[in-house]
């Protein structure tokens, strides 16, 4: 991605795995850790690192609880996260339109 | 013009940037579609389908009177499919996804072949008079359909399919007179059990 255009892009969701997490959650009220892992075909470690970054930015929120003895983690998209995705989509669209104009 | 240097050459070629944006949009779209297919299976629809099966088990005559028995269960299955379709429609509308998006079509297309096979086999079995085998055939093939249709969905959906198949195998070892009980336990019990879990855990 060229530096000039990339400067304004939301670095947090520009990364593929994080974009995937946010997109997946945009289509569902909530998804569990294992659902997301399956959806994005990734590893535990990779998913938790990226989910943590989104969580720190309050793009997503997570709820941990026990189902019997098994710990469960469920993620939801926050309003901040939804706005960030919408903004990112707008940017991508305008990028495409501006290129078509030339 | 021979302009060396990575910065300059990148500026001269805007195409990768556009391609990346297009690729990004496609990725977002596909992820959202796949994620939606995760929970497109309607929990409440499943519960309603299970209730239909329970009602049919009460209404149906003994399995020994083959023709009326089959008619009651065929009517119940049509009714249940209508309720299931309504459930998918209702859930898709509530979540705000188009009903027949790619995942929705995939679900229906995977369900269709085993169910058509079931119809043909049922017809053949009815001809031979061995109608006590019908619960096994129906449970097995419905299970196959749910497993293949649910392979893109949350894990509980293919698990439900597997339970239907096991119920079909169990039905094989039950006396023919238990036909209605087997059908009630399979199509009633399993639908209600898994429908409740899906409705509770996966948004309706």
A64 to chain B, minimum CA–CA distance in Å? 14
CB–CB contact A27 B27 (8 Å): no
CA–CA distances in Å: residue B131 to residues B15, B65, B83, B121, B175: 65, 10, 26, 11, 12
The token pair that represents B142 in the structure block:
């419905």
- Displacement of CA B51 from its chain's centroid (Å): 17
Side-by-side strand order, sheet with A70-77: A31-32, A70-77, A60-67
pLDDT tens for residues B74-109?
A: 999 999 989 988 888 887 777 666 666 666 677 778
Q: Which of A4, A23, A29, A65 to mutate to test the interface with B (most CBs of B within 10 A)?
A: A23
**Of the candidates B7, B22, B35, which has its C-beta nearest A28's C-beta?**
B35
Query: How many Cα atoms within 13 Å fall on the side-chain side of residue B76?
Result: 25
Pick the CATH number of A9-97 from 1.20.1250.20, 3.40.50.150, 1.10.40.30, 1.10.10.10: 1.10.10.10
Q: How many CB pairs under 8 A join A and B?
A: 77
Q: Are B66 and B176 in contact (CB under 8 A)?
A: no
Strand-pair partners of B141: none
Domain ranges of chain B: 12-201
B102 contact residues in A (CB cutoff 8 A)? none
Q: What stretches of chain A show up as alpha helix (H) in DSSP?
A: 3-6, 11-14, 16-26, 33-40, 44-56, 79-101
Q: What was the pLDDT predicted at A27?
A: 80
Q: Which ipTM did the prediction report?
A: 0.80
Interface of B with A in 53-82 (CB under 8 A): none
CB–CB contact B35 A16 (8 Å): no
Interface of B with A in 138-197 (CB under 8 A): 154-155
The phi, psi pair for A74, rounded to 5°, reads -120, 135
The pairing of beta strand A31-32 with beta strand A60-67: unpaired
Q: pLDDT tens digits, chain A, 102 residues: what are they?
A: 444 454 577 888 888 999 999 998 988 778 889 889 988 989 999 999 999 999 999 999 999 988 888 888 999 999 999 999 989 988 888 888 876 665
pLDDT tens for residues B112-152?
A: 899 999 999 999 999 998 989 999 999 999 999 999 988 76
Strand-pair partners of A65: A72
Q: Are B122 and B142 in contact (CB under 8 A)?
A: no
């Amino acid at each position: 991605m060229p530096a000039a255009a990339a400067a304004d892009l939301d670095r947090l969701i520009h990364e593929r795995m994080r974009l995937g997490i946010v997109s997946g959650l945009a289509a569902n009220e909530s998804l569990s850790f294992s659902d997301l892992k399956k959806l994005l075909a990734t590893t535990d470690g990779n998913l938790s690192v990226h989910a943590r970054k989104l969580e720190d930015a309050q793009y997503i929120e997570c709820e941990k609880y026990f189902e019997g003895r098994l710990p469960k983690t469920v993620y939801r998209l926050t309003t901040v996260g939804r706005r960030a995705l919408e903004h990112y989509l707008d940017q991508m669209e305008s990028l495409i339109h501006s290129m078509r104009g030339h | 013009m021979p302009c060396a240097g990575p910065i300059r050459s990148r500026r001269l070629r805007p195409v990768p940037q556009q391609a990346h944006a297009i690729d990004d949009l496609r990725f977002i779209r596909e992820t959202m579609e796949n994620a939606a297919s995760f929970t497109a299976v309607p929990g409440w629809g499943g519960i309603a389908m299970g209730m239909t099966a329970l009602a049919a088990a009460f209404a149906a005559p003994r399995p020994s009177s083959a023709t009326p028995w089959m008619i009651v269960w065929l009517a119940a299955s049509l009714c249940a499919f209508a309720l299931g379709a309504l459930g998918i429609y209702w859930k898709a509308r509530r979540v705000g996804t188009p009903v027949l998006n790619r995942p929705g079509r995939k679900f229906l297309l995977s369900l269709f072949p085993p169910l058509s096979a079931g119809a043909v086999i049922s017809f053949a079995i009815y001809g031979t008079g061995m109608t006590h085998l019908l619960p096994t055939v129906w449970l097995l093939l419905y299970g196959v359909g749910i497993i293949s249709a649910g392979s893109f969905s949350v894990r509980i959906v293919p698990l439900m399919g597997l339970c239907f198949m096991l119920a079909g195998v169990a039905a094989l070892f039950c006396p023919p007179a238990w036909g209605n009980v087997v059908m009630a336990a399979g199509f009633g019990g399993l639908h209600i059990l898994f429908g409740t879990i899906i409705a509770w855990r996966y948004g309706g």
